[in-house]
Amino acid sequence: MLVLGLGNPGPGYRNTRHNVGFEAVDRICDQRGLSWRRPLFRNVMAAGDATLTLAKPLTYMNRSGEVIPYLVRRFAIPTGMICLVLDNMDLPVGEIRMKTRGGDAGHNGLKSVTAALGSSDYARIYIGVGRPAQGTSTVDHVLGTFSPEEDDAVTAAIRRLAEVFRSATLPPLPTLVSEVNRRRR
Number of domains observed in the structure of the chain: 1
Q: Determine the average pLDDT of the residues in 105-133.
A: 95
pLDDT for residue 168: 83
Handedness of CA 69, 87, 110, 81 (dihedral sign): positive
What pTM was computed for the model? 0.95
pLDDT digits (tens, 9 = 90+) for 121-144: 999 999 999 999 999 999 999 999
Q: Which domain holds residue 153?
A: 2-182
Higher pLDDT, 138 or 40: 138
Specify the CATH number for the domain of residue 165: 3.40.50.1470
pLDDT for residue 106: 86
The CA–CA distances, whole Å, from 142 to 48, 51, 122 equal: 28, 32, 23
pLDDT mean across residues, the chain: 94
Q: Write out the catalytic residue numbers.
A: 18
pLDDT digits (tens, 9 = 90+) for 6-24: 999 999 999 999 999 999 9
